[in-house]
């Protein structure tokens, strides 16, 4: 008797803006790609507001409005009932803490007291293309009996561990822990999760099958794959969108107000004409 093949897993994508400013053309292109890839499946909007100092609620209503104006629709998101609510990351802290505790039980995190300056001074200078120096391992040998304490925790990478994956847009990718990145933060001094921990915890909990994000996050993806491995979880597929640059070849950032969706709209652009720009801009 032949076995039935397993049913195909339905596509679940997400867009995960941080409310630290207005969305610009670069975000819009990445989010539009995420929306298109999720057609026929489910798209989740997740408000990544864990950084208390930089996030503002007015930017949440602004991105909801801008995304809707552009024509993006989602099935689950902030303010909506849903199987994975809440969709505001700042309200998911208990879940994030459970993930930290599970890493702690496996002996994979250590408390770190290094300041940014100490790390900068004792680490080898970052080489080109790397966004920060590799952590020099100063606190690696430290431990505390419980993860439920205020303070800064780092995930201990295995030096030399290779992280390779097939990116759906960019093809084969390969990074080496301890060389391309070092032990990275999973919990912050102000007792909030780091981006890496929160994003893995939430993508896994929300059953995301493919992550669409900007190519600036490739190294983060490599770190996140190590977290999936450590937690015994299967990582989603990844699709990294090439970054958009301005007329001077500079990467777009939220400070490029002229290219914010708000400003383009104010200057009379329609959603269609903004979407047409995605194709033209490298």
Candidate residues 19, 33, 38, 48; the one interacting with ligand GLU per rule CB under 6 A: 48
| Cα–Cα distance list, 239 to 36, 132, 170, 194 (Å) | 12, 23, 7, 22
Rounded least distance, CB 65 to ligand GLU, Å: 17
Closest-CA residue to 223 (of 255, 169, 180, 262): 180
Three-state SS at 215: helix
Identify residues 141-200 at the interface with ligand GLU (CB under 6 A): 199
Q: Is 260 in the site for ligand GLU (CB under 6 A)?
A: no
Q: Which is nearer to ligand GLU, 21 or 137 (CB)?
A: 21
The residue count for binding ligand GLU (CB under 6 A) is: 7
Quote the CA–CA distance of 126 and 124 in Å, as a whole number. 6
| Start-to-end C-alpha separation, the chain | 53
Should residue 47 be labelled a site residue for ligand GLU when binding is judged by CB under 6 A?
A: no
What DSSP line would sit under 22-41, residue for residue? --BHHHHHHHHHHHHHTTTS
Least Å from the CB of residue 89 to ligand GLU: 8
CB of residue 97 vs ligand GLU: minimum separation in angstroms?
A: 19
Give the closest residue to 25 by CA, choosing from 267, 262, 272, 261. 261
| Residue (137 or 260) nearer to ligand GLU, CB | 260
Among 12, 18, 206, 252, binds ligand GLU (CB under 6 A): 18
Nearer to ligand GLU, 20 or 176 (CB): 20
Q: Does 112 bind ligand GLU (CB under 6 A)?
A: no
Show contacts with ligand GLU in window 200-229 (CB under 6 A): 213, 217
Beta carbon nearer to ligand GLU, 29 or 104: 29
Contact between 157 and 226 under an 8 Å Cβ cutoff? The reply is yes
Regarding beta strands 42-45 and 12-15, do their DSSP bridges make them parallel or antiparallel, or are they unpaired?
A: parallel
User: How many helices (DSSP H) and strands (DSSP E) are in the chain?
Assistant: 8, 9
Distance CA 249, CA 247 (A): 6
Give whichever of 137 and 193 is closer to ligand GLU, judged by the CB atom: 193
Residue choice 17, 19, 133, 182 for contact with ligand GLU (CB under 6 A) = 17
**Beta carbon of residue 153, minimum distance to ligand GLU (angstroms, whole number):** 20
Q: Which is nearer to ligand GLU, 15 or 177 (CB)?
A: 15
Looking at the Cβ atoms of 16 and 201, the one nearer to ligand GLU is 16
16 binds ligand GLU (CB under 6 A): yes
**CA 191 to CA 183: how far, in whole Å?**
18
From 16-24, 118-126, 149-157, 164-172, span contacting ligand GLU (CB under 6 A): 16-24
Give CA–CA dist 185/265, Å, rounded: 38
| Gyration radius of the chain's alpha carbons | 20
- Copy the structure tokens of residue 96: 């994030």
Nearer to ligand GLU, 49 or 114 (CB): 49
Residues that bind ligand GLU (CB under 6 A): 16-18, 48, 199, 213, 217
């Amino acid at each position: 008797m032949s076995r039935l093949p397993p049913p195909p897993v339905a596509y679940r994508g997400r867009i995960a803006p941080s409310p630290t400013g207005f969305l610009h053309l670069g975000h819009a292109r990445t989010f539009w790609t995420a929306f298109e890839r999720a057609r026929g499946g489910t798209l989740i909007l997740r408000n990544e507001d864990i950084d208390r100092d930089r996030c503002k609620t007015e930017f949440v209503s602004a991105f909801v409005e801008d995304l809707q104006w552009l024509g993006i629709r989602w099935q689950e998101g902030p303010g909506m009932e849903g199987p994975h609510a809440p969709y505001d990351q700042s309200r998911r802290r208990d879940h994030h803490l459970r993930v930290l505790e599970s890493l702690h039980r496996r002996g994979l995190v250590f408390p770190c007291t290094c300041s940014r300056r100490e790390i900068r001074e004792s680490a080898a200078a970052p080489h080109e293309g790397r966004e920060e120096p590799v952590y020099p391992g100063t606190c690696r040998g430290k431990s505390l009996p419980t993860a439920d304490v205020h303070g800064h925790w780092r995930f201990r990478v295995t030096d030399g561990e290779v992280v390779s994956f097939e990116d759906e847009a960019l093809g084969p990718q390969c990074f080496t822990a301890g060389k391309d990145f070092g032990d990275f933060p999973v919990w912050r001094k102000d007792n909030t999760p780091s981006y890496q921990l929160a994003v893995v915890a939430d993508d896994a909990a929300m059953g995301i099958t493919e992550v669409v994000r900007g190519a600036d996050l490739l190294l983060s993806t490599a770190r996140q794959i190590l977290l999936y491995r450590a937690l015994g979880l299967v990582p989603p597929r990844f699709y990294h969108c090439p970054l958009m640059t301005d007329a001077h070849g500079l990467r777009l950032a939220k400070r490029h107000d002229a290219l914010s969706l708000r400003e383009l709209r104010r200057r009379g652009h329609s959603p269609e004409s903004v979407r047409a720009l995605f194709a033209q801009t490298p």
